[in-house]
Chain A
Amino acid sequence: GAVVSQHPSWVICKSGTSVKIECRSLDFQATTMFWYRQFPKQSLMLMATSNEGSKATYEQGVEKDKFLINHASLTLSTLTVTSAHPEDSSFYICSARDPGGRYEQYFGPGTRLTVT
């Protein structure tokens, strides 16, 4: 149980375009999901906390107008990278909080975004 999927697994887009990444909890309902990004050989940096039915909470330094997060249902959160630039190229990972209310998060497989 507790499987989280992401789509797409990789995407290449041109500068100036927008890209949407989906995160789904497949066998449980997730009231809270998280979005991270990871640069090569670096740690996972939390970008934002996504709560179903309310606005996302962004970490300091993350542009909310650039990284739009929507958590429209208990099984789906989306991250849209707007007006993408090459520096947005990264590995984006989502996670969902354990449905039993514990601290553990279950992570999706990640999405590799390359902006050309």
Chain B
Amino acid sequence: DQQVKQNSPSLSVQEGRISILNCDYTNSMFDYFLWYKKYPAEGPTFLISISSIKDKNEDGRFTVFLNKSAKHLSLHIVPSQPGDSAVYFCAASGSGTYKYIFGTGTRLKVLA
């Protein structure tokens, strides 16, 4: 079963506008969530994370929102830039194991 899902396989956004990437999870034991950016044939790069005790975390152009009751998190990128074009993975971790369960990924394309 897929415990972490990203239902949109792809997303196109105009440069300068907001990109919103969504992620849903099923396991209520997850207590830490992360977003990674990945280019083809490269390892993922950490972007931003959030603990389950918070509902928002912001770092520059990136903001992650967590809705625990809905088991949903989202990544907002404002303003979007062409260099943001990549595949974005959300990941969940829990119970102190430090293991990640990755979502299926969303390919973001920012159009100039």
Q: Contact check, B104 vs A105: say whether CB atoms are below 8 A apart.
A: no
Which residues of chain A have a CB within 8 Å of any CB of chain B? Answer: 4, 6, 32, 34, 36, 42-46, 49, 91, 93, 95, 97, 103-110, 112
CB of B41 within 8 A of CB of A107, answer: no
Q: A4 — which chain B residues lie within 8 A by C-beta?
A: 43
Q: With A43-B105, A103-B93 as known contacts, state yes or no: A32 contacts B43, CB within 8 Å.
A: no
Chain B contact-residue range equals 20 to 34
Q: Which residues of A contact B89 (CB under 8 A)?
A: 43-44
Q: Verify A110–B43 contact, CB threshold 8 A.
A: yes
**CB nearest to A4 among chain B residues:** B43
Can you list 24 pairs linking A and B with CB atoms under 8 Å apart?
A32-B98, A34-B100, A42-B104, A42-B105, A43-B89, A44-B44, A45-B102, A49-B98, A103-B32, A103-B34, A103-B93, A103-B98, A104-B34, A104-B46, A104-B49, A105-B46, A105-B100, A106-B46, A107-B36, A107-B44, A107-B45, A108-B43, A110-B42, A110-B43
- Complex Cα distance, B4 from A45, in Å, reads 12
A43 touching B102 in the complex, CB below 8 Å, given contacts A103-B32, A103-B49: yes
Q: Can you name the residue of chain B whose Cβ is closest to the Cβ of A105?
A: B100
Q: Which residues of B contact A112 (CB under 8 A)?
A: 41
In residues 12-43 of chain B, which contact A (Cβ within 8 Å)? 32, 34, 36, 41-43
The interface residues of chain A, by DSSP majority, are classed as: strand
> How far apart are the CA atoms of A70 and B86 in the complex, in Å?
32
Smallest CB–CB gap between B41 and chain A, Å? 7
Q: Chain B residues with Cβ under 8 A from A36's Cβ? A: 102
Known contacts A42-B104, A43-B104; decide if A109 and B43 are in contact (CB<8 Å).
yes
Chain A contacts of B101 at CB under 8 A? Answer: 46
Residues of chain B within 8 A (CB-CB) of A97 are 98
